[in-house]
Amino acid sequence: MASGSELTSLTAAEMASAVAAGEISAVELTGAHLDRIARTDLHVRAFLHVAADGALAAAKAVDERRAAGEPLGPLAGVPLALKDVFTTIDMPTTCGSKILAGWQPPFDATITTRLREAGVVILGKTNMDEFAMGSSTENSAFGPSHNPWDLARVPGGSSGGSAAAVAAYQAPLGIGTDTGGSIRQPAAVCGLVGVKPTYGGSSRYGLVAFASSLDTPGPLARTVLDAALLHETMSGHDPCDSTSLDAPVPPVVAAAKHADVAGLRVGVVTELAGDGYASGVLSRFNEAVELLESLGAKVTEVSCPHFSYGLPAYYLIAPSEASSNLARFDAMRYGLRVGDDMRASAEDVMSLTRAAGFGAEVKRRIMLGTYALSSGYYDAYYGKAQQVRTLIARDFSAAFEQADVLVSPTTPTTAFRLGERADDPMAMYLADLCTIPGNLAGNAAMSVPCGLAPEDGLPVGLQIMAPVLADDRLYRVGAAVEGALDQRRGHRILDEANGIERVGDASAEAGR
């Protein structure tokens, strides 16, 4: 029998084939990950809720199905960390907010259902910036998660808990949501693969809404193939989500195995570089572009002149939608209720509850959205932002005439220190500078590790962007970059994450 750390360091694909072949049981595999969580999560704080009993029961069901000779899906028995923004009937769903602390939803999200049906073992619910608003998990009401590369740094956000769990080998797979970069940015700063599928490619039913026209669930993984396997498992048309695309899931697994960029036209976005980008981020990015060229890709520069207006447009559109979506937290039917002394009015109870239940960033965004939608300001702010959205989509269309995929750094810097940007909302917002255009246009995008910044030894992400429903191109390019870099190094970039070793040492010390 393999040791626990041997099991947790396998890829999801390897785990699934070992379970299918009967070399390991799903229960044994789940147990190894639960042990790893117990040993490391005091330091990483990736999980808000660990569902040990439920996970072991789900694993046992997979083992029984195998024993009965039933066919198993490509991820059956593989453990996963689920962002606490998806409803789960057997686990709390808090969105990192006090207003939903302890809420146990009466239904499963479609994504949750698809995972269960595929035999994926949900280990628990992961930490996040409150209602997915943030880039560090520091906006979680339950405290921040820590980056396994350096525990004094942020794991990115808002899906930082899922990213930290996967980077700390607590789970081989994680699910996040990406509204302005919330999958890709944590993937980049934790040295992972993270994908924002085409908008509408993955279901939003049972995903607690932040900005409905932008929210997109997607996979986090340690390898491109693992991300593809999860992408295929979680995606596809859902009649319960009226914005779900009624189209086949792009062939992402086949593309990840194909990994060939010969003749592919790669466009470097001129506007996504320059001032504000760390030198190590730019040098690794430029090397990745040279690597693609050496693998046979045809590299050109493309200009997307309106991308520089993406950030301001996003911080009008997303808060506007949020101010409307979060009106449902009214203290009447579920969640927190404060100040109900039988005399206070419903309106007063509502205001007291929302003031007590929401954190500072959520309050800022609700007020910002309320402002942008106010009569007198609507045309100058929300209306103008929606026109910018059209111009950004047109920039993408023009760029995709010249190139099959576009590339840029995923985020301007490596992981920043906890607390460094916590009191400066605008500095925090800059983390999403390169990822926001993809959300506004709804196309598919991936972050794949492309090396470590020389100045701090922390991971850098390469962002790959593809047209709507051409998600498979991301995997083709991502797998080519991953394969070439792994071969050059002789190991995966994540193997150099020594924060994890320090976590292990600290636990060993504590255990003595």
Partner 1 sequence: MSITRDEVAHLARLSRLALTDDELDRFAGQLDVIIGAVARVQEVAAAGIPPTTHAVPFSNVYREDVLVPCLDAGTVLAQAPAAEQGRFRVPRILAED
Among 38, 152, 332, 508, the residue binding partner 1 under the rule CB under 8 A is 332
418 binds partner 1 (CB under 8 A): no
The b/e string for 231-258 (b: 16+ C-beta within 10 A; e otherwise) is bbbbbbebeebeebbeeebbbbbebbee
Annotation says 158 is catalytic: yes
Residue placing its CB nearer to partner 1 in the complex, 165 or 366:
366
Task: For residue 79, report the phi and psi dihedrals to the nearest 5 degrees.
Answer: -75, 155
309 binds partner 1 (CB under 8 A): yes
Choose one: 50-58, 173-181, 276-284, 347-355; the region binding partner 1 (CB under 8 A): 347-355
104 binds partner 1 (CB under 8 A): yes
69 binds partner 1 (CB under 8 A): no
How is residue 500 written in tokens? 């994890």
Residue placing its CB nearer to partner 1 in the complex, 145 or 198:
198
Kindly write out the interface string for residues 385-414 of this chain, putting x where it contacts partner 1 by CB under 8 A and - elsewhere.
Answer: xxxxxxx-x---------------------
Under a CB-based contact definition with an 8 Å cutoff, are residues 148 and 155 in contact? yes
How is residue 433 written in tokens? 């500078």
From 83, 97, 125, 323, active-site residue: 83
209 binds partner 1 (CB under 8 A): no
Under a CB-based contact definition with an 8 Å cutoff, are residues 252 and 201 in contact? no
What's the rounded Cα separation, in Å, for the pair 346 and 309?
40
Q: What angle do CA 213, 242, 322 make, to 5 degrees?
A: 30
What's the rounded Cα separation, in Å, for the pair 471 and 179?
17
Q: How far is the CB of 377 from partner 1 (least distance, A)?
A: 9
Task: For residue 48, report the phi and psi dihedrals to the nearest 5 degrees.
Answer: -95, -25
Residue placing its CB nearer to partner 1 in the complex, 5 or 104:
104
Choose one: 11-19, 48-56, 114-122, 327-335; the region binding partner 1 (CB under 8 A): 327-335
Q: How far is the CB of 220 from partner 1 (least distance, A)?
A: 21
Q: How far is the CB of 356 from partner 1 (least distance, A)?
A: 8
Choose one: 15-23, 28-36, 66-74, 382-390; the region binding partner 1 (CB under 8 A): 382-390
Residue placing its CB nearer to partner 1 in the complex, 55 or 440:
440
Q: How far is the CB of 110 from partner 1 (least distance, A)?
A: 14
Three-class DSSP category at 407? strand
Q: Provide the sign of the torsion angle of the four alpha carbons 216, 106, 38, 78, taken in this order.
A: negative
Beta 216-221 vs 298-302: how paired, if at all?
unpaired
3 binds partner 1 (CB under 8 A): no
What's the rounded Cα separation, in Å, for the pair 31 and 52?
8
Q: How far is the CB of 230 from partner 1 (least distance, A)?
A: 22
Annotation says 83 is catalytic: yes
The b/e string for 64-83 (b: 16+ C-beta within 10 A; e otherwise) is ebbeeeeebbbbbbbbbbbb
What's the rounded Cα separation, in Å, for the pair 126 and 135?
15
Residue placing its CB nearer to partner 1 in the complex, 190 or 440:
440
Q: Which helix (H) or strand (E) holds 58?
A: helix 52-67
Q: Provide the sign of the torsion angle of the four alpha carbons 267, 203, 325, 411, taken in this order.
A: negative
Residues within window 212-241 making contact with partner 1, judged by CB under 8 A: 213-214, 239
CA-CA-CA-CA torsion for 438, 160, 168, 256, nearest 10 degrees? -20
Annotation says 303 is catalytic: no
441 binds partner 1 (CB under 8 A): yes
101 binds partner 1 (CB under 8 A): no
From 135, 145, 158, 323, active-site residue: 158
Q: How far is the CB of 306 from partner 1 (least distance, A)?
A: 7
53 binds partner 1 (CB under 8 A): no
Residues within window 358-377 making contact with partner 1, judged by CB under 8 A: 358, 360, 363-364, 366-368, 370-372, 374
Among 440, 450, 470, 481, the residue binding partner 1 under the rule CB under 8 A is 440
Bridge partners, 506 (sequence order)? none
313 binds partner 1 (CB under 8 A): yes
Name the maximum alpha-carbon separation found in the chain.
Answer: 73
Annotated catalytic residues are 83, 158, 182
